[in-house]
Amino acid sequence: MNPTAAAQLNSLLAALILLTAFALVVQRRMNALLHIFAWQGFLLAVSTAIVGFVGGAHHLYISSFLTLGIKVILLPYILHLLIHKLKIRKEVDSVINVPTTMMIGIILVIYSYHLTAPIRELSTLVTRSTIAVALATFMLGFLMMITRKHAVAQIIGFLAMENGLLFAATSATYGMPLVVELGVALDLLIAAFIFGMFFFHISTTFDSLDVDQMARLKEED
């Protein structure tokens, strides 16, 4: 695969990753959020493998495998079990409506391209065109985390932010050191189990995972 074709394919994958980031922001059903998050992880894993092949960074193959195993299979499965156990079927509430969220998301994407313009001009990597998308993915994940009222949806937003960070590291420097990636993967797994137990106890105590309802209960006390 020549560098030009690799750059074009990577740009296509970046566009799809950005599309999934927008889908996460506007989606209101919990099961759909899990499916979109899994697709985002799959696209990220493919992109990482392509960058590793073109750039000769063989450690990115391990990163791609970890992303595929953890973010496409394991984490969505754990969150699915959590949603099923807590019987979360209703639509996810949001602090602001969908059109306003979309407008904020578009502004964040434009700001990301403006902010990374100097980096893209100086970089000689085949991934230089995707740095802005990686930053936008991170910001959209943060937007999702702060605009959702449901704790599980906020955690998915946090994981989407981590996807953006990994994508940014791959785009800017051909990835983080392998020991760092292994540590992050282990931290994500531990966090998933802790969050699962934490949410279960909250749901048992308060009969809800809505952050606003828990805040109102605290105020009443």
State the Cα–Cα distance between residues 176 and 29, nearest whole angstrom. 33
Query: What are the phi and psi torsion angles at 116 (to 5°)?
Result: -95, 5
- Sequence letter at residue 204: T
State the Cα–Cα distance between residues 125 and 24, nearest whole angstrom. 29
Yes or no: say if 28 and 19 are a contact pair by the CB < 8 Å rule.
no
Model pTM score: 0.79
| pLDDT per residue of the chain (221 residues) written in tens, 0 to 9 | 666 777 788 888 989 999 999 999 988 888 888 899 999 999 998 988 888 887 777 778 888 888 888 889 888 888 888 777 777 666 666 778 888 889 999 999 999 988 888 877 766 666 677 888 989 999 999 998 888 877 778 888 888 888 888 888 787 766 555 545 555 565 666 666 666 655 555 555 545 555 555 455 444 55
